[in-house]
Amino acid sequence: MQSLAIVVPVYNEEDNIPHFYASVCEVMQPLAARYRWEVIFVDDGSNDESRAILGTLAARDERVQPVFLSRNYGHQLALTCGLDRALTDVVITMDGDMQHPPALIPELLARFEQGYDVVQTIRRTTEGVSWLKKFSSSFYYKALNAISDIEVRPGGSDFRLLSRPAADALRRFREHDRFIRGMVTQLGFRQTTLSFTAPPRYAGNSKFSPRKMLRLALAGVFGCSTVPLRMGLYFGFVCAMLSLLGFAYVLYVKYVDLDAVPGWATDVSISLLFGSLQLIVLGFIGEYIARIYQEVKNRPLYLVGEEMPRLRQDGMEKKERGAEQA
């Protein structure tokens, strides 16, 4: 029997929690013989009845393990708290508003049983989401993938399954400004994806204000890429090349055309030279800051997968069994 923790950050979800809990119970019923499961609700400083509801559920059912954060820290930190507490063989993270359908849990577990360590779900579409939001999200991920060494598929969400080794690896990433879906792609291990259609929220409104959304988007760019810091260097070199052309033109006007106002040539040459120099030096500083940034993140230098790959072990077992029978 394996153990499973379902990690659910909730912020003012009083109308969703009971429904979510009931539907997890229903979905897990047929799997109860194979998985000992628990739901870790991380209450992210709710100020509605969510806390009381979680308290009641926990008193009735010991599989409900609530954690109450001291204030609203935001979805990514609430998720991190849940991941820190989930010490089971398998961990599934999902939202508590039914937009990540619990009905998909058996499919996630089936992939885990096939030997995958990370099962990342991809939203095919979200019912009831505006054209603008879909477009900006797809543009954002394309741009982010282009400037960073992570690869987040458009439609990527924080609905995923992690095996114990993958969850342990993720727990070693302790940076404060977090974009978990980017960090997960950097873990390695055996990853696979599963597409789904996200239904509208069961109850209530989105708890992601435009400000929180922007903060997450910036965490993705600045947390997963140092390209913005290095831009000074690239621009500096491009400007230096262009200013050589400008300088040639200044020499032409001054000595061939003889049409230069006194002092003009010196002025323009100085601005061209120092403009590019300043950008290049800013770029150097950017390079050092980028390195300091990588160091202070203090991520593990490398992650060891596991001593013996699970898939091969199964194969070996089969072979051994075959040998015994022979």
Residues at the site binding ligand UDP, with contacts judged by CB under 6 A: 9-11, 13, 44, 72, 74-75, 78, 95-97, 99, 206-208
Q: Which does 208 bind (CB under 5 to 8 A by kind): Mg ion, ligand UDP, none?
A: ligand UDP
Q: Using the Cα atoms of residue 162, residue 165, residue 168 and residue 170 in order, give the sign of their dihedral.
A: negative
Residue placing its CB nearer to ligand UDP in the complex, 27 or 265: 27
**Residue 61 CA to its chain's centroid (Å):** 31
| Look-up of token digits 């029978």 | 325
CA-to-CA separations, 39 to 4, 56, 162, 314, in angstroms, rounded: 8, 14, 15, 29
Q: Which does 13 bind (CB under 5 to 8 A by kind): Mg ion, ligand UDP, none?
A: ligand UDP
Q: What is the closest distance, in whole angstroms, from the C-beta atom of residue 99 to Mg ion in the complex?
A: 4
Q: Do the beta carbons of residue 185 and residue 150 sit within 8 Å?
A: yes
Q: What is the closest distance, in whole angstroms, from the C-beta atom of residue 323 to ligand UDP in the complex?
A: 50
For residue 261, give every residue at least 6 positions away whose Cβ sits within 8 Å of its Cβ, in sequence order, or none.
none
Residue placing its CB nearer to ligand UDP in the complex, 202 or 237: 202
Name the DSSP letter for residue 255: I
Q: What is the closest distance, in whole angstroms, from the C-beta atom of residue 38 to ligand UDP in the complex?
A: 17
Q: Which residue has the closest beta carbon to ligand UDP?
A: 206
* 3-state secondary structure at position 241: helix
Q: What is the closest distance, in whole angstroms, from the C-beta atom of residue 208 to Mg ion in the complex?
A: 7
DSSP string, 105-144: HHHHHHHHHTT-SEEEEEEEEETT--HHHHHHHHHHHHHH
Q: What is the closest distance, in whole angstroms, from the C-beta atom of residue 94 to ligand UDP in the complex?
A: 8
Binding positions for Mg ion, rule: CB under 5 A? 95, 97, 99
Q: Which does 38 bind (CB under 5 to 8 A by kind): ligand UDP, Mg ion, none?
A: none
Q: Which does 207 bind (CB under 5 to 8 A by kind): ligand UDP, Mg ion, none?
A: ligand UDP
Q: Which does 156 bind (CB under 5 to 8 A by kind): ligand UDP, Mg ion, none?
A: none
Q: What angle do CA 115, 81, 43 make, to 5 degrees?
A: 115
Residue placing its CB nearer to ligand UDP in the complex, 63 or 100: 100
Cα(243)–Cα(271) distance, integer angstroms: 9
Q: What is the closest distance, in whole angstroms, from the C-beta atom of residue 21 to Mg ion in the complex?
A: 17
Please, is 37 exposed, middle or buried when counting C-beta atoms within 10 Å of its C-beta (0-12, 13-18, 19+)? Answer: buried
Residue placing its CB nearer to ligand UDP in the complex, 182 or 283: 182
